Chains A and B, each alone.
Chain A
């Protein structure tokens, strides 16, 4: 049952909804001219409203989480402490709301990640102009964020599925938002078509799982909570084929959302065609949300089918994921080699990174509960670092694309002489993606390799480590273009404030979390 007292626990989501509606309606109060000046004004106001609003939501969520400041029990009672106390009473902990929405540390941390990513994305959008209806553009970003927040907390099938749709539909629209640009339109359409296919597959898997659970319930009369992950896990522990099939379809359906090979084919096209800030958003927040939902789905719904990634006869979903991770890491990295478009190259790089993240899921096969927790920590750490880095990289690329007129490798040439700070910021992101210490990317990789190794997937770790050599090669091509190759055009590239701020957040985050990873690991460990 949904209680009124549950509302504070859903506060970030509610605030997001309010913000989305506000942004949607904010257009009304603006000048409705068709002149470029009027349109620009509308863009600016919507964008700043979004950025400020998301910043406030993030602040409230941070305060609520209590990770940075936790109100002591003995604090004096006054107006401010009451506000904080009430907020933090809705913080992590307690039973899932109405059995549908878990409000544990995992949800809280993932919310912070997602809202943070949305904030950075909105900063990136400050200087990239959407078409004549800016309100809708930004509102869709917030709606999608809301969907992701629901996704990471989803504790039952209906909400999980609806949250995925709530996330995806705005993203389809956003990817195809620039209708004058055929690439963008095509990206939107493709994203939608494949999203529909994968949703169908996912839904099919879910219905099979539900059916298997119904079968396991036997003569019990109450089916009401049978869509919850853990209930299905309880009732299907002993049943064989049907639930296996359900698991496979769910993995395949989620595999699409995460762009895991061989379900990845849409992503390079969509990443290339979508407006670059949206690409950044799709490749980070939506992927992170997908991984967390997949984690919940697999560990709660299919605990009896964990199996082992060592590829012996145990099978299970870790074995399936191990094979997918292998394909993803190898094909993602190799297919990135011949790319000449930087966005496409980074798209393949994100595919490859998804393969690394899967290693964190494999840790669930470890014998010690201790190692499993390590796996989740490593996974979250990786997602954080990866999101920061990719937001930075795509953000820099958005600016470069806007100012040099394209995002091919040739447009990067001699960037260090056109705008050195921008080139340096981009470089830090690239090096972090390549996993060079002391940047966060290195520790994330190392940690997740370690976790994978402990889980028994040694063979996979070895291949993944070898593939990092290949990845370095194509990352270096970017660096080479920026620093070593001569520029074709020496007009300086300016660095506007919004994108500058976003890049600075990303780079500082990557640096600080690399040198002091404990800052975030101590929080992640609470999961």
Chain B
């Protein structure tokens, strides 16, 4: 059994190694990569079967490969585990991952670097599996950074596009802000618990920190400081880490730009798996979060605010992928808000269904882009439903699922979150999330209308349906989007029972009135979105403004720019750092700045000249800085010690 669970991350890793070192041909690369992930899916299924055969409270397999770090009190094993929560995550990653790999064979056909593409993709799946299977924070962090690195490489994969490089760097650096908080959280956890393990390793092993959260109850940070509780500090740091990876306010700015990568990458990394890492982290470390009311409040509000901001931003986009990107951010906000309200099962449920239908939407969008010869601007589309029937139908299913129409997958999971908000008295949160879900229906209606209905606005290309290797994964995912809600139907609540050993949560009440209102609202708003953009189709011009712009004016502009958050960062943080570093360079590094000008003269001037430059300039400046330094050190001593 232990060997079995090791196989899950190792299979894609073997695929990665093969693709890096052995395979040179496009066809084999695609087959091997997809095959490995599919095999991992099969192994995961078997492992889930084994897990299901155990008594519920014992459903956790921990396996240590070797002592990773073992020095003094600092001990971290290279250990993975398999429990119900990991199982559902691994199923999503390998299942959806395999389909996306297959799809990529068609989508990336003819690309000159396709072998490398599949290598990155396999590495990503490996890292993502380590992220969800790790039994300690350090290994989780390995996966966490690994997926970030793969994301960087894949966003920048089409480096011919100007924006790709910038977007890749931005994604990595913004993520790194979250990672810094993550590292601090690890340090704090180690300080207070003495271990980074989640759970004990087998029988009789030392307890993991999740099993010992009670130890820090009432502990405060620092003796003389304001009374911040340790649990609050740690969970808040973890929250910042999660906001980076899961693209939450205020760090969601990287995700829309990340759409510069190939579309299957957007589907796999930036919709179904990597971005849900933050939600997974919060669910995994749920005892720490539950121990702090303060953090839970922050989590809830960050989630709700993100959902609303991104939901409004999604309504005003023209780029087919950016709509989906903002939609993803918005849906992640739902999950985070659910975590904050303590509805972890609902969050995971939504994570799973969203993973399926958002992957479907991205892949279908990829099919549209593929069939329209790399068109992404929806103003240049229109009337594609006849040319691409399969894509149209699957897209529609995905859109309905996302909008939350009964009985598709999205309805059940979203409803569970809303019902929890109502049932536990989070009224303001409920209102925000409800409005957001109406917006969701609206922008999906708008998008479907813009892409598939009306007439083709840009006649310069001939749309065609994608090959079968791409449409078959779409159909499979569409089936999943229809029946996916079955895993946690109100009466049966299989998922809740399955996750009970990890999350210790009781099934929520099903609120029939709420379900009715939500469905009617979603249908109404979806229809409204569709109606506005089909009746006004003639007014939409390539490069023109949105029909609604006439009525809403600059608010629409603000929505299109996601409320200028990105620009705010550019003007304050980024510009501030640039100025500061420029200033520092000028003060401490005159030669580095003047180097270009001086360099030419020095090069031809020879030794004598360079000696003179040394004598008259920098050496004396440096000596001055040196003296300042000595003075500073001594003065500091005087100031502090006496």
Contacts and interface: CB of A to CB of B under 8 A. Distances in A.
Is there direct touching of A and B in the complex, by C-beta distance under 8 Å? Answer: yes
Interface of A: 179, 182-183, 185-186, 189-190, 193-194, 197-198, 201, 244-245, 248-249, 251-252, 255-256, 261-266, 268-269, 307, 311, 313-316, 319-320, 323-324, 331, 334-339, 341, 344, 370, 373-374, 377, 431, 436-438, 442-443, 446-447, 449-450, 453-454, 461-462, 465-466, 468-470, 472-473, 476-477, 479-480, 483-486, 515-518, 521-522, 524-525
Contacts of B183: 446, 449, 465, 468
21 contacts: A179-B607, A182-B605, A185-B607, A189-B614, A194-B619, A197-B626, A248-B634, A265-B589, A265-B622, A269-B591, A319-B636, A320-B637, A374-B74, A450-B74, A476-B173, A480-B156, A480-B165, A484-B159, A515-B68, A516-B68, A524-B71
Interface stretch (B327-335, B419-427, B459-467, B579-587): B579-587
B168 A480 contact: yes
Interface stretch (B90-98, B138-146, B267-275, B543-551): B138-146
Contacts of B72: 370, 373-374, 377, 525
B610 interface: yes
Interface residues of B, number: 77
B577 A344 contact: no
A469 B145 contact: no
B67 interface: yes
Interface string B309-342: 0000000000000000000000000000000000
Interface string B591-627: 1110100000011011101110110001101110110
B630 interface: yes
B179 to A, nearest CB: 8
A461 B443 CA distance: 45
Contacts of B621: 265
B392 to A, nearest CB: 35
Given A269-B591, A334-B580, A262 B637 contact: no
Interface string B117-140: 000000000000000000000100
Given A453-B188, A470-B577, A472-B172, 7 more contacts: A323-B633, A374-B72, A374-B74, A377-B72, A437-B138, A446-B138, A484-B164
Interface in B147-196: 149, 152-153, 156, 159-160, 164-165, 168-169, 172-173, 176-177, 179-180, 183-184, 186-188, 190-191
Contacts, number: 216
Given A339-B592, A517-B69, A313 B641 contact: yes
Contacts of B512: none
Given A182-B607, A182-B610, A244 B632 contact: no
A315 B642 CA distance: 9
B580 to A, nearest CB: 6
A183 B180 CA distance: 38
A335 B584 contact: yes
Given A484-B164, A517-B68, A262 B602 contact: no
A436 B71 contact: no
B180 A190 contact: no
A316 B156 CA distance: 49
A461 B186 CA distance: 12
Given A190-B619, A334-B580, A450 B190 contact: yes
Given A437-B142, A470-B577, A476-B172, A341 B595 contact: yes
Contacts of B172: 472, 476
Contacts of A315: 637, 640-641
Contact of B145 (A245, A344, A436): A436
Chain B contact residues: over half helix, strand or loop, or mixed?
helix
Contacts of A516: 66, 68
Nearest to B619: A193
Nearest to B610: A182
Most A CB contacts (10 A, CB to CB) among B73, B173, B592, B630 go to B592
Given A334-B580, A525-B72, A265 B625 contact: yes
B607 A252 contact: no
Q: Which 3 A-B pairs have the closest CB atoms?
A: A315-B641, A262-B629, A337-B581
B572 interface: no
Contact of B629 (A255, A311, A447, A472): A255
Nearest to B156: A484
B386 interface: no
Contact of B584 (A311, A331, A486): A331
B70 interface: yes
Contacts of B609: 182
Contacts of A524: 71
Given A269-B591, A315-B641, A447 B636 contact: no
A480 B169 contact: yes
B584 A485 contact: no
B578 interface: yes
Contacts of A268: 589, 591-592
A461 B187 contact: yes
A179 B141 CA distance: 49
Contacts of B187: 449-450, 453, 461
A110 B606 CA distance: 40
Contacts of B68: 515-518
B52 interface: no
A338 B145 contact: no
B293 interface: no
A454 B145 contact: no
Nearest to A247: B637
B628 interface: yes
B552 to A, nearest CB: 37
A339 B640 CA distance: 35
Contact of A447 (B74, B581, B633, B640): B74
B298 interface: no
A518 B595 CA distance: 44
Contact of A469 (B152, B165, B176, B578): B176
B605 A262 contact: no
B636 A323 contact: yes
A116 B551 CA distance: 72
A370 B640 contact: no
A337 B589 CA distance: 12
B168 A190 contact: no
Interface in B559-578: 577-578
B581 A334 contact: yes
B494 interface: no
Contacts of B593: 338
Given A269-B591, A466-B180, A319 B584 contact: no
Most A CB contacts (10 A, CB to CB) among B156, B578, B603 go to B156
Contact of A518 (B69, B603, B610): B69
Contacts of A339: 585, 592
A144 to B, nearest CB: 23
A138 to B, nearest CB: 24
B65 to A, nearest CB: 10
Most B CB contacts (10 A, CB to CB) among A182, A442, A476, A518 go to A182
Given A437-B141, A517-B69, A262 B585 contact: no
A484 B186 contact: no
A52 B622 CA distance: 40
Nearest to A262: B629
Contacts of A473: 169, 173
Contacts of B168: 480, 484
A438 B183 CA distance: 14
Given A315-B641, A337-B577, A194 B610 contact: no
B159 A483 contact: yes
A465 B613 CA distance: 39
A373 to B, nearest CB: 7
A39 to B, nearest CB: 22
A248 B633 contact: yes
Contacts of A374: 71-74
A194 B626 contact: yes
Contacts of B614: 186, 189-190, 193
B629 A465 contact: no
A339 B66 CA distance: 42
A201 B634 contact: no
